[in-house]
Amino acid sequence: MESVISKIAIMLVPALLAIMLHEVSHGYVAERFGDPTARLLGRLNLNPFKHLDPIGTLAVFIFGFGWAKPVPVNQGNLRQPRRDMIWVALAGPTANILLALLSALLLRTLGYLDSSGMVESQTYLQVTTPIKMMAGFSLYINVLLGMLNLLPVPPLDGGRILAGILPEAQAKLLNRLEPFGFVLILLLIFFTDLWSLVLAPLINVLVLLLAGKEVTLVEQAMQFLFGQ
């Protein structure tokens, strides 16, 4: 039981920030382009109760990734709907990549302090060990969410970006997939080689590039949390 509580404590803040900032970023950029829907519905804040999807939150603790309630965007309010929607869609993955960069910076800073021998007290180790685990998990989950959401399948952000780039007739055909998009995504991830041949290698390379030699801290965090 103590181990479960420790894992939840390490995962909770990074997971909440990753999925909430992803959604809030969509709403923030949408408002900059003319759509105040998210603000009017009280979704431009970091109150977790406004954003959390029960199943999506549970998935974070089981699979290592999840989702929040989508922030509503009224594309008709955007000044140039098709073009502006590309930027709105990009905002979510961009927020995740920025969080991943901050997490990597924290990991590298702590790694430097460790290797320099500047701080060696027991208290320092007790405080920084869980912080390293949180930063390692934060780096991984934000890279994962950023890359996963760029898959060109609606309702993922990549699908909305592709719909904004394609000619209007093709975009309408793509958007017809949206009611079946979630099922299609699950099929692609769990029943094809997309994860093993494309997503997992890409995520691992990005995590390695960001973490550098501190990638071992990410691996230790994922081993502790998921035994992998």
For 12-32, write each residue's pLDDT tens digit: 899 989 999 999 999 999 999
How far is Cα 73 from Cα 24, in angstroms, rounded to an integer?
Answer: 11
Say how many C-beta atoms besides its own lie within 10 A of residue 153's C-beta: 20
What is the per-residue pLDDT for 113? 83
Q: Mean of the per-residue pLDDT values for the chain?
A: 89
More confident residue, 124 or 11: 11
pTM for the structure as a whole: 0.91
196/199 Cα distance (integer angstroms)? 7
pLDDT-based confidence at residue 66 (cuts at 50, 70, 90): confident
The catalytic site residues sit at: 23
For residues 228 and 221, give the distance between their C-alpha atoms in angstroms, rounded to a whole number: 9
Residue 219 token pair: 């691996």
| Phi and psi, residue 131, nearest 5° | -65, -40
Residue 60 has pLDDT above 80, yes or no: no
Which tokens in the block code for residue 136? 């390692």
Round to whole Å and give the CA distance between 47 and 35. Answer: 21
Read off the pLDDT of each residue in 136-164 and give the average, rounded to a whole number.
Answer: 94
Rounded to whole angstroms, the Cα distance separating 72 from 23 reads 9
Is the CB of residue 114 less than 8 Å from the CB of residue 220?
Answer: no
SS3 192: coil
Amino acid at 216: T
Residues 143, 94: Cα–Cα separation, whole Å: 10
Per-residue pLDDT, averaged over 42-53, amounts to 86
C-alpha triplet 139, 142, 143: angle, nearest 5° = 80
Length in residues, the chain: 228
Q: What is the pLDDT of residues 174-200, one digit of tens each?
A: 999 888 888 898 898 889 999 999 999
Per-residue model confidence as pLDDT tens digits over 104-145: 999 999 988 887 766 667 777 778 888 999 999 999 999 999
Contact by Cβ (8 Å): 52, 119: no
pLDDT at 1 over 70: no
